[in-house]
Homo-oligomer: A and B are copies of this chain.
Amino acid sequence: MEDLSSPGSPGERGSGRIGIGLALDSVHFKILGVLRGQGRISVAALAERVGISRANAYTRFEALRADGVITGFSARVDTSRIGLDICALVFVTVRQDLWKQFRATLATMPEVEYCAITTGQHDAMIQIRVQDVSAVHRLVTEQLASIPAVRATETVIILDEVLRRPYVLPTAPRSTEPTPAPAPGAAGTGQFGMTRFIPAAEGRADLQRAADPEE
């Protein structure tokens, strides 16, 4: 591994210098796009797919790795095939003085696939994957509840996973048009740090009876 932290000469022809580190051009993104879908593809095949020579592909591949753009590779696993049929989201209210403990404890729980700190009503959202619904209940009431940092939780069960992309790549800059200023009042006012949007047509009614589950 070489030290690639010193970036190339400024004024490169590549499109995107993003932050520090490697300046990524469209070929890099093509590579990432292929590797996102086929992580075990050979570099030779990769080179052909993106239309560059093998040597170039090796160079770029290694640069992406060394620079930390690519942090690793993972097998995608069909969770239902390994008995993890149930997925749930747990929204957690955390005691602000015990954050560190909360993170540390989460790291020891293998059922937790994802945890993010969010704005809004709750402090964190964690996604868990377990064998059955009773395991959700056990995990929340026994394990999560026993963490002193956890003040309250709210759990929802995931009924279906519509979309699960390995990783998102930047969209082609389609915003040639200048960003239109949002019409005042169209976007809801922030509440608890979350933004509400309700279409104008049925908006007013819904705003009034916000807790009404179904009409």
Contact = CB atoms under 8 A, between A and B. Distances in A.
Most chain B CB neighbours (cut-off 10 Å) among A82, A161, A199: A82
A186 to B, nearest CB: 7
Contact of A117 (B83, B159, B198): B159
B117 A162 contact: yes
Copy number in this complex?
2
Contacts of A70: 75-78
Contacts of A81: 18-19, 21-22, 24, 67-69
Contacts of A168: 79, 84, 110-113, 128-129
A82 B69 contact: yes
Interface string A176-208: 000100100011000011111111001100100
Contact of A198 (B22, B137, B152, B196): B152
Interface of A: 16, 18-19, 21-22, 24, 29, 32, 35-40, 67-84, 87, 89, 103, 106-107, 110-121, 124-126, 128-129, 131, 134, 137-138, 140-141, 144-145, 150-171, 175, 179, 182, 186-187, 192-199, 202-203, 206, 211, 213
